[in-house]
Amino acid sequence: MRDSIGRFLSALEDENEFSANTVSAYRNDLGQFVRYLEERLSLTSWPEVQPSNLTSYALELREREYAASTVARKTAAVKSFFGYLVRSGELRADPSESLATPRVEKFAPKALPEEDVQALLAEPAKQCTPEAQRDLAMMQMLYASGMRVSELVSLDVDDVDLASGSVRCTGKQNRRREIDLPGAVVETTRTYVTEARPQICRGTEQSALFLNQRGTRLTRQGFWLILKQYAHRVGIDDITPHTLRHSFAAHQLTRGRDLGDVQRMLGHVSISTTQVYQQVASDLANGTSGQQASDKAPESADADGERAPA
């Protein structure tokens, strides 16, 4: 059974239609699903799986009090997998056809007021350690560019052109884009690259731009832990890895930036995805903020569907 899951995930990676984060989430979801079938139902092959087994699994997810968004993703993984089994000839019929996907209410992305962002960015500048210089550089770059957190931590040193003041990042489906950076961000990055990064790197050969304390590439989870620490210091508790990206988009539109320019910087394929930030910008201008799900979901979603670990 697990071999079939492995082939399915390999197919997703080869087709390049899903981000690495989505494939990773599907791997975890399907691993949980097959353990349920083996340990709770004693099933040993996919032809044994009946629609009633999938219904019981869906109930199991609800009883464990997962957020609706998480149940929807886990259900989508199961349905996509069984679709693959039918297409590949491993199954004649799809037992998940009648499996309902939970309805997930859409929430506007949450953006911080500009004064909160400035307070957040000022916090690492109060320290002179190499790590604080790194934190300031990556937080400034994230807010100034609108990159996804996954794009930020994937940057290599060569992706930043300090002479031209630009950064090249790789988004979903390996789409590359170049983003101009404000002069202040360029200088902060220059200080980090020339002074702080060599101290964190400790002389090892490493291409990654942003490094952790071990001198290896910083992860998305590592970035979020860092961000939460600074946010807590300035009294911001409701924050996710994408809050600075959301804030960037809303603030750019508030300042009169063209919607198409913001779309390009965010890396959105469809401008309709970017348009959600027009309401967020309007809410900020009126003194209100965007809404987010209040349940304890184990993940949060970007406006264009990217998932971030909680």
List 242, 246, 251, 307, catalytic entry = 242
- Report d(CA 255, CA 303) in Å as an integer: 20
Backbone angles phi, psi at 225, to 5 degrees: -60, -40
Segment holding 223, helix H or strand E: helix 220-233
Catalytic one among 74, 197, 245, 246?
A: 245
Concerning whether 57 is annotated as a catalytic residue, the answer is no
175 in active site: no
Structure tokens at 189: 């990055």
Whether 277 is a known active-site residue: answer yes
Per the DSSP assignment, residues forming a β-bridge with 300 are 308
Q: How far apart are the first and last CA of the chain?
A: 29
**Residue of 79, 172, 246, 307 marked active site:** 172
* Joined tokens for residue 124: 């690492």
Catalytic residue among 79, 148, 197, 307: 148
Contact indicator for 108, 291 with CB cutoff of 8 Å? yes
Q: Which amino acid is at 21?
A: N
Q: Name the residue with tokens 């699994």.
A: 57
Q: Taking each helix axis from N to C terminus, what angle separates 271-285 and 243-254, rounded to the nearest 10 degrees? A: 80
Catalytic residues: 148, 172, 242, 245, 268, 277
